[in-house]
Structure 1
Amino acid sequence: MRRITIASLALMGAASLAPAALADGREPGSLLVYPTVQSQLGVPAVFNVVSVTNTNRLGSGETDVHFEYVNVKAAGTPFLFADCVIADRVETLTPADTLSVLTSCHNGGASIAEPTVGYLVVSAMNPNEIDTYWSFNHLIGSEQVVSAAGGMYSLNAIPFLSAQADGADTDADQDGRRDFDGTEYEGIADELYIDSYVGALGGNLVLLSLTGGEYLTNVSFIIYNDDEFQLSAQYSFSCWTNTPLADISGFFTDLGLKTTVNDARELDITCDGLGDLETGWAIVRPTTALSITSANIANPAVLGALVNDVNPMFKNGRLLWESATKQFNGAFPN
């Protein structure tokens, strides 16, 4: 008899983090996006530390950094807009400086009653001018998430370079926003990829939209099982979402994948040549951003990550892979 233990699944979940963390060769930027952060005052269930580092080691390489926590209170239905409120503060990084903050202390929108969730944007600002974002492609960052039970994972921030000259104001069109248009900041990936998933492990998909304000963002999924069998799914959200994969489609579960034509040899975790668990991968393709009061927007800008926060002992997380093709209609605040 072949037995698949909970410990085996947990070890696989932890191991799935390592390749993404080691292979993530990103460049410093002028703006960093942390796709998921958690905060709670009092006795938090999660210890979430955000770090940002100034890699400029020159004597004149000081910068301010603007932390903007987008705190999200989900609506009761995806067809109502989520309540997304920004809490912000400014810090200063001297040359070769690094700053780490506990989000529960640093996020002004944190609550005692319940965890505050959402995402974080950190932007370089000119320390010699008021409210001026500037080209300072020297910022790197990451976050670490640790549960009270000892489970932990880390995620790199997603960096965006500015195309402006070093030290120049990035707000080229003077609209008060940071535009991911290839002029102010580099564009956002046209497609995202879940490089692999194990149906039995579950996990949550984090998505955030940087196109439109009160818009409903529609996303299409092209899903492949371990035998190249193509499946599909649709999902809609506003602002930011942290949604179990199983709620998006049954094809993200082991049971759902077993209903498809699949490879009988994958995934073998008992080393007997027979498949024990079902696996797959997926393309995440943003299609439209829908508005009640404004024109709809095609091909919205979306960022994402895959996390597992359900089991406090065996947490894991990784950024989604990104296409080389970019689109240029993203902005923050949007």
Structure 2
Amino acid sequence: MNPFARLTLLAAFAAPLAAQAPMPGSVLIFPSIRNNAFATTFVSVSNTNLSPLFPFPGTQHPPDVLAYFNYVIATPNPNDRYRPLACTHFCRPELMTAADEITVSVGCHSPGDTRGYLVVSAHSAIAGGPVSHNFLAGSAAIFDYVANAVYVYPAIPFCSPLTVGLPTDVNPPNGRLDFNGIEYEMMHDHLIVDSFIAAFNSRLVLADFSCLPGDNAEVSVDLSIFNDNEFPLSLHFGFRCWMEIELHDISTLFFNGWLQGISNDPAELDINCDGLGDFEAGWFSIYTTQASIAGGAQVQPNPAILGAMLGGARSCSDSRIIWGSKERRVGCF
């Protein structure tokens, strides 16, 4: 099939996402990107600044900002889906003018097969270093050929409190992006998945933004789960760098049949309007306890993570960014 015809067919299955209106930022984070024989991803980034920071006389479209596309590519581990064999970084800079927009196909923009996440950061079009430029907005569309579905989600934006155009690598100057409230706004203390429908078997995506060096930190995660009858459940696991795993593969706690066997509300979720529930649902919070490397030689308590929920093989609509708590934590990239 012609690839454009294929994308058009898949787009017919795409469902719109309801979300709060986020503000443009200096950093955009896309928790999940995929490009292989089974899926491809389009990433769109817009520079909403209408007045160029560096106006050059006689230049119709002077450069405004350099957008660094920082891909973190996870090498799948056939024996452990929670711990990739490696996470490789690949950066692709894109010069943007004022009011510019760029949409890239990850298959052409990153090397080879790609599974992982993407961080787009604003850099000076003149000096090249990271700068405050709270004008970036973006979204991603994952075309899943196996599920015959399209998952569309907005990027997670992070603003800088610094004046536009000023360097952000200042406190401390360490060559990384610090989400500490000084360079960029802080990340969330914990994450909240407002709902899951067990029969959909959605995928949970998590990415490590701890401040330990490298990408081999073991992040310990606790899930506090409530079903549709406020019945409490709990779950613990660990991961490294990045994971994208179906809820059913994480635990039987997310199986529809298992949830039917515990205290639940018999009238929720009723799709036949007969007063009897047809599917089990619930919600959960995600907490981190620590990140550690080298067998515990370095430990960071309560590290920052980000994530998303993407539709599973039985769902073409359950795709969204995860809610964040009001409490904040320091994160690093």
Category of TM-score, reference length = shorter chain:
0.7 to 0.9
Letter in 1 for 2:303: P
Find the counterpart in structure 1 of residue 28 from structure 2: 32
1:85-164 map, 5 Å: 85-108=88-111, 110-111=112-113, 116-130=114-128, 132-148=129-145, 150-164=148-162
Which residue type is aligned with residue 209 of structure 1? Answer: D
Amino acid at match of 2:48: T
**C-alpha contact (below 8 Å) 1:69/1:120 kept by paired residues:** yes
Aligned match of 1:59: 52
Whole-angstrom distance in 1 between the partners of 2:74 and 2:40? 18
Identity over aligned pairs, percent: 36
Which residue of the partner structure matches residue 22 of structure 1? Answer: 18
Residues in 1 aligned to 2:308 and 2:286: alpha-carbon distance in whole angstroms: 11
Number of the residue aligned with 1:247: 249
How far residue 78 of structure 1 moved from its aligned partner, in angstroms, is 6.4
| One-letter identity of the residue aligned with 2:131 | W
Q: Paired residue for 2:322?
A: 320
- Post-superposition Cα deviations, 1:45-68, rounded to whole Å, max 9, x if no partner, equal 323100000000013371000011
Shift of 1:252: 1.2
Equivalence for 1:296:
299
8 A Cα contact 1:81 1:216, kept in partner: no
Displacement of 1:30 in angstroms is 0.3
In the alignment, which residue of structure 1 is the partner of 2:87? 84
- 1: CA distance, partners of 2:242 / 2:313: 18
AA partner of residue 132 (structure 2): S
Cα offsets for 1:69-94 (capped at 9, x unmatched)? 10001333368664000111100111
Q: CA deviation at 1:24?
A: 2.6
- Residue 269 (structure 2) aligns with: 267
Corresponding residue number in structure 2 for 1:187: 186
CA distance in 1, matches of 2:251, 2:241: 20
Rounded to whole Å, the distance in 2 between the matches of 1:290 and 1:310 is 33
| 2:230 alignment counterpart | 228
Instruction: Judge conservation of contact 1:63–1:125 (CA < 8 Å) in 2.
Output: yes
Deviation at 1:249, TM superposition (A): 1.9
Cα distance change, pair 288–229 in 1 and its aligned pair in 2 (3 A): same
Alignment match, 1:279: 281
Instruction: State the distance in 1 between where 2:247 and 2:83 align.
Output: 20
Aligned residues: 305
Alpha-carbon RMSD across the aligned residues, in angstroms, is 1.9
- Residue identity opposite 2:279 in structure 1: L
Q: Establish whether residue 48 from structure 1 lines up as the match of residue 41 from structure 2.
A: yes
Supply the AA of the counterpart residue of 1:83. Answer: A
Alignment correspondent of 1:201 = 200
Conserved in 2, the CA contact under 8 Å of 1:79 and 1:216?
A: no
Aligned partners of 1:100, 1:80: CA distance in 2, in Å? 30
Letter in 1 for 2:180: D
1:23, distance to aligned residue in structure 2 (A)? 2.3
Partner residue, 2:10: none
* TM-score, normalization by structure 2: 0.87
Gaps of 5+ in 1: 1-13
Q: Distance in 1 between matches of 2:223 and 2:251?
A: 9
1:278-331 per-residue CA deviation (whole Å, 9 max, x = no partner) reads 1110011111112225321110110000112435x8364111111111111x11
Secondary structure in structure 2 of the residue aligned to 1:304: strand
Distance 1:103 1:309, change over 3 A: farther
